[in-house]
Amino acid sequence: MKKTFIFAAVITALSASLFAATLNVKDFGAKGDGKTDDTAAFNTALEAANKAGGGIVNVPAARYCIKGNITVPMSVTLQGEWTTAPLVLANEGDPAGTLLLAYAGKGDPKAKPFITLQGHLSSVRGLSIYYPEIDQKLTPPTPYPPTIYGSHSDNNCVENVTFHNAYFGLRFERVGRFYINNLQGYPSYKGISIDECYDVGRVENCHFWPFGIHSPEQGEYTLWINLHGTAFEFERTDWQYVTNCFCFGYGIGYHLSGSEAGASNGSMLCVGADCCNRSVVFDNMQYMGWAITNGEFVGRWNSTDSVGVEIRGDKATGKIDIVNSAFWGPLVNCVKCDCAGASLALSGDTFCDWDSNHDGSPALNLIKGRAIVNACTFNESMSDIVVGKDMGPTIITSNLSRGGLKVTNLSKGFVRLNDNEPLSAEMTAKDKEHYIVKIGSPGDCRYISPMHYSEDGNNPDGTEDPSLKGTRQRWTKGDSCLKLPTIPGRKYHVTVKVFAPKEALHEKCGLYFGGKRIMPIDNAGPQTLEADITATGDVSKIFINAKRWVPGGGDLRELGILVRSVEMKAEGAKQPAADANKF
């Protein structure tokens, strides 16, 4: 009975402290008209809650002009009315929830943060924050200090917050057991940055995507973010949990960077990074490492230098588990491991759309470290895995790949290949003299990069063609490439069947070999293109140049032209054409 009484007394005391006051910023003079500086009213209300022993300061739905900085004391919550992130910010009419207009710190990233969480249990909930003086036509973006900042405290919470066009979203230093939930927006420099947090912090349901951004996809502002911005950064943090998070259009999606205080370890579950130059980068980590489960990682659109997960340098000396995750392009490599102290385990992952440079780059580029690759699926038919000469012990077992798993082993160390899908028959020199590739049919992947998924043969303009019944085809995207096996020095007659919509035509439209346009496409409709080339290597690359266009009507793909088949016939070849799709 005595223990029960003491416990109840403690809970009662905590409750009295945490919820001693429920205040309203408008009772302290806040106007919420978007013009009058409400900084003093906010800070006065927050300090009043602090003197009462803690509590909640409510901020009713309105637009609040904040020319200075806000400090949230210990055991106090700044609570607004929040619904969800808008597609674009409405500058007129009634505000959708509580909107703070932030002005302080322009041009000085080391200035005082816009909102500081000062002390244990201080929190921010239900706010949208907008920077009126950030011009999305300027690059690099105008620097500002973090929008929300916390340090040297425990149990801080930031929940249901939108950063409309912030430069730096949130920074926590030495905050134990923090909780970050449902942050949205598109901070240009960094979304969330964590350092020296030693006790199980949680980041959940955060979505950094071009909310409220007026710059076009390839505009200078968004392109800067797509090359230089970081969505999530973890420096020194112990047992970091990251769940249900997503980012789009960043230079780095998730950066495990480390700091002078050390490195990180933790777990990511159900995370994604789309249109990123690097989805995940490991520059530093603790020996316990990181586990990534149910991830999806996509290269930066129209790029030729994106990598899904990159492990680099000499400090990423720990264990990295990537389980049941998917990679697609355009990517140079899906995973690149170049750290001697790293131990990489890939299990149940799916890889597709790599080799964006069309130079034979593998899905898995294992340069240094140790690795286990098990039960993965490779959805292309090209170079799947390269084990470099400096790679440590490597085990590759029970993997599937169309046409058989292709592994190039340059290592003199311990490498084991067991129970992988066997390679299909290789093309003989005779086969290379005369063959046909049916684009869109199974087995075509080794000859193309990149193209959209296969679809039924038809003329998109609605014209009937009985010969297309039962056939397949693919749309090109970006600078697509035909990678055709050849005998060096032999002359070939090349025949390519395509359909060119009028939307794809431009003055340089056509097929190119050796930098020269060998097959012009000047007219719309189905057509057979022919040209003669002299092979310069074992593989001759023919590039397809067409204007990108979007069909609309819910179809957001960027298309070029349709490709149906390619026939390669060497000079003097007399045998029937081989079926290249079976190799």
- Residue 293 tokens read as 């489960």
27, 130: one domain = yes
> Which of 221, 250, 266 is at the close of a domain?
221
10 found inside a domain: no
393, 440: one domain = no
- Residue 527 tokens read as 């057509």
CATH number at residue 397: 2.160.20
- Residue 94 tokens read as 């009634």
User: Is the distance from CB of 493 to CB of 530 less than 8 angstroms?
Assistant: yes
387 found inside a domain: yes
pLDDT in tens, 237-246: 999 999 999 9
Q: With 90 as the cut, is the pLDDT of residue 323 above it? A: yes
Distance set, CA 205 to CA 246, 247, 271 (Å):
8, 11, 9
pLDDT in tens, 3-57: 444 344 334 444 444 456 899 999 999 999 999 999 999 999 999 999 999 999 9
Q: Which is nearest to 144 in space by CA: 179, 178, 187?
A: 187
487, 572: one domain = yes
pLDDT in tens, 381-430: 678 999 999 999 999 999 999 889 999 999 999 999 999 999 888 899 99
pLDDT in tens, 48-101: 999 999 999 999 999 999 999 999 999 999 999 987 776 665 554 455 789 999
106 found inside a domain: yes
- Residue 159 tokens read as 């929940």
pLDDT in tens, 462-487: 999 999 999 999 999 877 999 999 99
461, 543: one domain = yes
The separation between CA 539 and the C-alpha centre of its own chain, rounded to angstroms, equals 32
534 found inside a domain: yes
278, 145: one domain = no
180 found inside a domain: yes
What 3-state DSSP class applies to 455? strand
User: Is the distance from CB of 495 to CB of 466 less than 8 angstroms?
Assistant: no
Nearest-10 Cα torsion for 177, 179, 185, 190: 0
293, 435: one domain = no
Strand 148-154 and strand 98-102: pairing? unpaired
What 3-state DSSP class applies to 401? strand
Distance CA 133, CA 348 (A): 47
CATH number at residue 497: 2.60.120.260
Beta-carbon-side half-sphere exposure of residue 298 (alpha carbons within 13 Å): 14
Distance CA 410, CA 406 (A): 13
pLDDT at residue number 553: 86
Look over the chain and give the mean of its residue pLDDT values, rounded to a whole number. 92
374, 409: one domain = yes
> Which of 402, 424, 446 is at the close of a domain?
424
6 found inside a domain: no
Total domains in the fold of the chain: 3
**What is this structure's pTM?**
0.86
Q: What is the DSSP-derived secondary structure letter of residue 312?
A: E
Q: Which is nearest to 189 in space by CA: 166, 218, 205, 161?
A: 166
76 found inside a domain: yes
CATH number at residue 63: 2.160.20.10
- Residue 469 tokens read as 């019944």
Site of tokens 């989805």:
279
249, 314: one domain = yes
Domain that holds residue 472: 429-582
Q: With 80 as the cut, is the pLDDT of residue 305 above it? A: yes
Distance CA 340, CA 391 (A): 8
441, 538: one domain = yes
> Which of 393, 424, 455 is at the close of a domain?
424
pLDDT at residue number 12: 41
352, 418: one domain = yes
Q: With 60 as the cut, is the pLDDT of residue 183 above it? A: yes
Whether the link from the prior residue into 140 is cis, omega within 30° of 0, is yes
pLDDT at residue number 181: 98
12 found inside a domain: no
153, 288: one domain = no
At 283, the pLDDT band (50, 70, 90 cuts) reads: very high
487, 530: one domain = yes
